[in-house]
Amino acid sequence: MKTVYISYQSIEDLRLCADQLRAVRKLFGKRKRMMVTVRRAVALSSQFNFSWLADNTLTAPAWQAYDAAMAPALQAYRTAMAPALQAYEAARASARQAYDAAMAPARQAYDAARAQTWQAYSAATASAWQAYEAATAPARQACDAAMAPARQAYEAATARAWAQQYIRQQGRTV
């Protein structure tokens, strides 16, 4: 049987998150590659996210086989976790209800102050905003008019390039 290796570089090239990159560096140490065995993978399963590695390294047929192999384990995991998650959600809901009740007076005061401040701000800036709009309107219209031919040419080029590539992708000549 042929020995299978995975290289540090091939994993790093997958652009994994910083936490997992640190885990990979720790696992590889000074090695540039590591032999892949089922025993080693199982031994390292708590130190690395093999689900992520499967998502990013397996071909479609291999992924289908992996997904089928994982289905019973996923079901067992969900079944085992359900009571703990239910207890957590119940505690969380109770805590959230108490938090919301404690925060209600502060939130009401904040909302009232914010509404009052926003009204004052809007009143103070309305005339300045109207003057700005009036002052920039001619320049905006001139800019739009000057850019129109270039925009139309760009849009036509985009449509042309897409159509050509799509037709080629379908095995036809343009």
pLDDT, residue 173, reads 73
> What is the residue-averaged pLDDT of the chain?
90
With 0-12 / 13-18 / 19 or more C-beta atoms within 10 angstroms meaning exposed / middle / buried, residue 11 is buried
What digits encode the pLDDT tens for the residues 18-77?
988 888 898 889 999 988 888 888 998 888 888 888 898 899 989 899 999 999 999 999
* 40 Cβ contact list (under 8 Å, min separation 6): 34
What digits encode the pLDDT tens for the residues 142-153?
999 999 999 899
What digits encode the pLDDT tens for the residues 99-145?
999 999 999 999 999 999 999 999 999 999 999 999 999 999 999 99
Instruction: Tally Cβ neighbours within 10 Å of residue 66.
Output: 15
Residue 15's nearest CA partner among 52, 48, 43, 63 is: 52
Q: How far apart are CA 104 and CA 106, in angstroms?
A: 5
Percent of all residues in the chain with a pLDDT value above 90, rounded to a whole number: 57
Task: Enter the pTM of the model.
Answer: 0.50
pLDDT, residue 87, reads 94
Instruction: Tally Cβ neighbours within 10 Å of residue 140.
Output: 10
